[in-house]
Amino acid sequence: MIIIITPILGAFRNYVKYKYFKPLVFIRTPILYLLIQAIIQTNNIWKILILERWFMLIYKTCLSLLRNDYMKKKHKYILKYNLKY
């Protein structure tokens, strides 16, 4: 049941925040749960939930570094709010 609740709440949050629903993002979480469960050979759902969140944190951090998000957003806010750095 917990495996179902997390993707549903995540999809609801994304819909509220971005006003769209992405099925691939919705399916990603249960797939990651199954992969983590197969790799570490455990049925401890809490351990799987935490490991999935850690994996996504590392993945999104690396993706942000590769896309240079900080500099793009910094430039955007300099233009938008006339900020001085």
CA geometry: angle 21, 57, 61, nearest 5 deg: 100
pTM: 0.75
Count Cα atoms within 13 angstroms, Cβ side, for 42. 11
Domain of residue 62, residue span: 2-81
pLDDT at 13: 92
pLDDT at 79: 84
Both tokens assigned to 54 = 């850690």
For residue 27, what are the contacts with CB-CB under 8 A and spacing of at least 6? 7
Spell out, as residue ranges, where the chain has pLDDT lower than 50: none
Domain count, the chain: 1
CB-CB contact of 29 with 10 (8 Å): yes
For residue 29, count other CB atoms closer than 10 A to its CB: 21
From 80, 79, 42, 85, select the one nearest 52 (Cα to Cα): 42
